[in-house]
Amino acid sequence: MKFKKVDAQGKYKLLPGIFLLCVLFSLFSCAHWFGFPSYYDPTTYKNLTDLKPEVAMLYETFTSAQVDSQQVNKIRLKLAQIYEYEKGKGEDNQETTQQIKIIREMFVRHLEDRLQNGKWSSVHLENVLQNMDQAFDLTIQTERLKNKNE
Amino acid sequence: MPEKWELFIDALKDDSKKLAKAELKQLIKKTLRDRDVFIKGQGIKLKRYLNQLEAKQITRNQFKSYVQDLKAIVEIRSLKMRVGAKARTQKLAMAIGDLILDKLVDLL
């Protein structure tokens, strides 16, 4: 950045630069206090888009008498792995980490409901599926809002 | 004419007066009128759950679980909005750095 010619006319040339520096200072102050989000991560996007239909398929089996405990454990493990992956990205990724935490809590609550209260009715399945789908969709959309590290 | 879900709320026995029925009905109606598709959608779901509860298609515990789901979804949405705002600021900071500080200011 060159600041040159501070004469009667030239001093006005500095004003846009000073203004920009103020804007930049404000932006980076915001970044310091609130932090910029982590960059878009295709692994996160894939993890979430892969897991969403798996959870939906598992829930569809909850209308039958048997619970596929192997599939339940598989999804619990995947959710735990995704949570650790997101948490490992640090403070900049706190929102996505929190979103995954909320999805995990929803899954645990739904699972406990199935194990304690027996098979689901079609109305109950439709309601729970709609909410779980929306939770995943919002988290997937959040990842897509992030800037690419180019 | 009041809808099914409104009549259901009115008919709830509440001796201890814990539930502000009018306030609850107002909240649901306000949500249903909201311009934000997401908020309106949550109101539509809540209305449907009340109708299903009235028709005994769902249990009290299932209703409670759906409301917990709605709370969770609203939290997830709020986190999404926060990321959106931060990402826009980040984009602006990057644009200022790349275009203005590196290129334009040299020309001033």
Please tell me the predicted confidence (pLDDT) of residue B20.
Answer: 79
* Residue B92 belongs to a domain: no
Report the percent of chain A where pLDDT is more than 70: 77
Please tell me the predicted confidence (pLDDT) of residue B95.
Answer: 84
Predicted-assembly ipTM surpassing the 0.95 threshold: no
Least confident window among A69-78, A138-147, B45-54, B85-94: B85-94
Closest CA to A75 of A132, A141, A120, A148: A132
Q: What's the whole-number mean pLDDT along residues B32-53? A: 96
State the smallest CA–CA distance between residue A1 and chain B in angstroms: 6
Point out the residue among B48, B89, B108 whose CB comes nearest to the CB of A27. B89
pLDDT averaged over chain A? 88
Q: What's the whole-number mean pLDDT along residues B75-80? A: 98
pLDDT at A5 over 70: no
- Residue A146 class from Cβ within 10 Å (0-12 exposed, 13-18 middle, 19+ buried)? buried
Least confident window among A96-100, A126-130, B91-95: B91-95
Which residues, in sequence order, are CB contacts of B11 under 8 Å at separation 6+?
none
pLDDT at B66 over 90: yes
Res. B22 pLDDT band, cuts 50 70 90: confident
State the smallest CA–CA distance between residue B70 and chain A in angstroms: 7
What is the rounded CA–CA span in Å between residue B97 and residue B108? Answer: 15
Please tell me the predicted confidence (pLDDT) of residue A28.
Answer: 61
pLDDT at B71 over 50: yes
Please tell me the predicted confidence (pLDDT) of residue B7.
Answer: 86
* Residue B74 belongs to a domain: no
Top pLDDT among A5 and A24 is at: A24
Please tell me the predicted confidence (pLDDT) of residue B21.
Answer: 80
Residue A133, both tokens: 């789908």
Please tell me the predicted confidence (pLDDT) of residue B102.
Answer: 73
Following DSSP, what letter does each residue of A80-118 receive, concatenated? HHHHHHHHTT-GGGHHHHHHHHHHHHHHHHHHHHHHHH-
For residues A101 and B75, the answer to whether their CB atoms sit within 8 Å is no
What is the rounded CA–CA span in Å between residue B43 and residue B84? Answer: 24
Q: For B45, which residue in chain A has the nearest alpha carbon?
A: A127
Are B86 and A138 in contact (CB < 8 Å)?
A: no
Q: What's the whole-number mean pLDDT along residues A103-111? A: 98
Express each pLDDT in A84-97 by its tens digit: 999 999 999 999 99
Please tell me the predicted confidence (pLDDT) of residue B41.
Answer: 97
State the smallest CA–CA distance between residue A85 and chain B in angstroms: 18
pLDDT at B106 over 90: no
Please tell me the predicted confidence (pLDDT) of residue B39.
Answer: 96
Chain A residues whose beta carbon lies within 8 Å of the beta carbon of residue B58 = 121, 123-124, 127
Q: For B87, which residue in chain A has the nearest alpha carbon?
A: A146
What is the rounded CA–CA span in Å between residue B39 and residue A28? Answer: 33
Please tell me the predicted confidence (pLDDT) of residue A147.
Answer: 93
Number of domains in chain B: 1
Please tell me the predicted confidence (pLDDT) of residue A51.
Answer: 98
pLDDT at A73 over 70: yes
Query: Rounded to two decimals, what is the model's pTM?
Result: 0.84
The whole domain housing B24 covers: 4-58
pLDDT at B79 over 70: yes
